[in-house]
Amino acid sequence: MTGVLVLLIFVVLMTAVLLFLLHLTRLGKLIHEHIPERPHRRLFLASVSFFITFLAVRLLVVAVVHHIGPFTWVTMGGRHVHHLVWGILILLAVGYGYLLELGSEGTPNSIFVGALMSILFGAGAALTLDEFALWLNLENDYWNRQGRESIDAVILFGALLAIGTWGAPLFSALARKKKVPR
């Protein structure tokens, strides 16, 4: 079983379990009664998710290093992809969701999305910070061939931000214009 699949299954299951506990159990009812919605409940969910993810990733790394179970390192094209990459991607997605103000209304669906984003934020932060020593001690600089990959990532994410900024209002206006009879 590849590390990517294990991480994906873990994040999905942990998120589903936390959301289930929050919305469909007595524990969830107690949390709703004693922890205010924003920002305290979001911080609580993020912290629980953070510590659970950190513990699970440490256990997974120990299993891989000591050849326990079917677990292996995540590799793509022969390159080891560290779990901080997945954490950064999750953090970028959650940050983008917050820019779009997902989960900021008082409706049940919005509260659910806010809880989901908080759980994913905690998981992404744990995956990223677990490998803090790696980003603190990078050996290659950005002026080599691999540095181009950073520029590509910046251009892609910048394009996503630009599409959200200019494209969404434009597409909304075009859609409204098509609905207006002449």
Q: In this model, does residue 92 exceed pLDDT 80? A: yes
CA-CA distance, 39 to 27, in Å (whole number)? 19
Is residue 114 within 8 A of residue 103, CB to CB? The reply is: yes
- On whether both 32 and 54 belong to a single domain, the answer is yes
- On whether both 162 and 89 belong to a single domain, the answer is no
- On whether both 123 and 169 belong to a single domain, the answer is no
DSSP state, 81? -
- On whether both 148 and 87 belong to a single domain, the answer is no
**pLDDT digit string, tens, across residues 40-68:** 888 888 888 888 888 888 888 888 889 88
Residue 16 belongs to what domain range? 3-139
As for how many domains the chain has, the answer is: 2
- On whether both 39 and 120 belong to a single domain, the answer is yes
Residue percentage of the chain with pLDDT more than 90: 9
Residue 136's pLDDT is 67
- On whether both 77 and 91 belong to a single domain, the answer is yes
- On whether both 76 and 132 belong to a single domain, the answer is yes
**pLDDT digit string, tens, across residues 103-147:** 888 888 888 888 889 899 999 998 888 888 777 666 655 556 666
Helix (H) or strand (E) holding 77: none
- Residue range 75-104: mean pLDDT, rounded: 87
- On whether both 98 and 49 belong to a single domain, the answer is yes
- On whether both 107 and 158 belong to a single domain, the answer is no
- On whether both 130 and 170 belong to a single domain, the answer is no
Residue 16's pLDDT is 83
- On whether both 75 and 45 belong to a single domain, the answer is yes
Is residue 111 within 8 A of residue 22, CB to CB? The reply is: no
Is residue 140 within 8 A of residue 146, CB to CB? The reply is: yes
- On whether both 106 and 32 belong to a single domain, the answer is yes
Q: In this model, does residue 91 exceed pLDDT 90? A: yes
- Residue range 14-32: mean pLDDT, rounded: 80
The alpha carbon dihedral of 41, 44, 48, 51 has a sign of: positive
